[in-house]
Amino acid sequence: MKILNWIKENKILVGLVLFGSIIRLFKLEYQSPWADEIFTLINTATEKSFGEIFEGLRNDVHPPLYYYILHCFNFIFGNSIFTARFVSVLFGISGFFAVYHLGKELLNKKVGLIAVALLVVNYFHLYYSQEARMYSMLFFTTTISFYYLVKF
């Protein structure tokens, strides 16, 4: 019952998130993987341990958390480009809620909704939410950190 009331109170946000989710999932496997995505797939293969993943990332400038999360998803759902890109989609969708709460905390609910509406149709956010790299996770964690900074 609480969920239904929350959906009724936030129907615009729910609609924006649904629309953003649909366009991020649309043709997720359409393009073939490129060099960095292949690097990600190789380093997060299910037969590798966390130590081997860390060793494989020795020359990579990105932190290993995204690779560990993707490795766990690959272990559960299988090693595929869809799984790898789906993790980025999940972080991209989570970014909607992070931006909403940041805008709401900074000014009001209306600003949060406008920020989400702009983010849903932002080409760069859409592009990087469909790529098997850690950029959508970076956006999400940065936005959450700003939210808690403002809240503090």
Instruction: Give the Cα separation of 86 and 83 in Å (integer).
Output: 5
pTM greater than 0.85 (yes/no): yes
Q: Is the pLDDT of residue 1 over 80?
A: no
Average pLDDT over residues 38-57: 87
Report the candidate in 118, 98, 129 with the shortest Cα–Cα distance to residue 23: 129
Instruction: Give the Cα separation of 137 and 152 in Å (integer).
Output: 22
Question: pLDDT per residue over 60-100, tens digit each?
Answer: 888 889 999 999 999 899 888 999 999 999 999 999 999 99
Which residue carries 């929350």 as its tokens?
Answer: 6
Q: Is the pLDDT of residue 150 over 90?
A: yes
Q: Is the pLDDT of residue 34 over 90?
A: no
pLDDT, position 131: 93
